[in-house]
């Protein structure tokens, strides 16, 4: 199943701490970005979320103790079995693709050079989707949606439903947020 077909709610829960797990489980979202955990806890978090029908993407850069090696990626794919991974590192996207995981390349758009470099990086590593940060720049969402053939997920600095709508209207497939109240919007 491709990522576009997975999206039922256009809000994605970005779980930043253990306390948010239950809130994500009880929410309307069907995709969770796991941004917390360590080698001892991440597998349990993934199982708990998957057990309630959620698609789980772990942020490789945020799981404490997890290295960015091919062996780590293969271990995650074979033992933890998340839906996929999120990372800022294009080489991790390539390795995760090879391991059969869905991949989301996260890029930070700080200036025009970062936009150009981000487009080049995405085209070289071929993720399943791209998460751009911050999400409150519809003009850039539109530009990227036109420049790359991958779904765009907008994340960061979203704090109102109007900003969610702006990002979606600009071409984002979905919006990731750590705001628990937004997880229950029906979009």
The domains located in the chain, with CATH, are 3-184 (3.20.20.70)
pLDDT tens digits, 13-66: 999 999 999 999 999 999 999 999 999 999 999 999 999 999 999 999 999 999
- Give the closest residue to 138 by CA, choosing from 171, 177, 173, 176: 171
**Paired residues of 34 in beta bridges:** 15, 58
C-alpha to C-alpha distance for 187 and 168, rounded to whole angstroms: 10
Q: How far from chain centre, in Å, is Cα 74?
A: 19
Residue 139's pLDDT is: 84
C-alpha to C-alpha distance for 160 and 131, rounded to whole angstroms: 18
Q: Which residues contact 105 (CB under 8 A, 6 or more apart)?
A: 87, 88, 90, 93, 121, 122, 125, 127, 129, 130, 131
Task: Write phi, then psi, for 174 (nearest 5 degrees).
Answer: -155, 170
The whole model's pTM is what?
A: 0.90
Residue 106's pLDDT is: 94
Mean residue pLDDT of the chain comes to 93
C-alpha to C-alpha distance for 18 and 177, rounded to whole angstroms: 16
pLDDT means per 10 residues in the chain (187 residues)?
A: 87 95 96 97 98 97 93 97 97 97 92 86 94 83 90 89 92 93 88
């Amino acid at each position: 199943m491709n990522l576009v077909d997975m999206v039922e709610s256009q809000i994605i829960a970005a779980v930043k701490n253990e306390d948010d797990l239950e809130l994500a489980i009880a929410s309307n979202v069907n995709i969770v970005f796991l941004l917390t955990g360590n080698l001892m806890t991440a597998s349990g978090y993934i199982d708990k979320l998957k057990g309630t029908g959620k698609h789980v993407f772990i942020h490789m850069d945020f799981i404490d103790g997890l290295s960015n090696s091919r062996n780590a990626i293969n271990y995650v794919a074979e033992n933890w079995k998340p839906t996929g991974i999120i990372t800022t590192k294009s080489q991790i996207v390539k390795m995760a693709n090879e391991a059969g995981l869905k991949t989301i390349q996260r890029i930070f758009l700080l200036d025009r050079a970062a936009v150009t470099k981000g487009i080049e990086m995405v085209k070289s590593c071929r993720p399943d989707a791209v998460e751009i940060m911050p999400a409150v720049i519809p003009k850039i969402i539109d530009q990227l949606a036109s420049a790359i053939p991958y779904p765009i997920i907008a994340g960061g600095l979203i704090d109102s439903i109007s900003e969610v709508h702006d990002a979606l209207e600009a071409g984002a497939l979905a919006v990731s947020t750590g705001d628990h109240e937004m997880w229950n919007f029906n979009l």
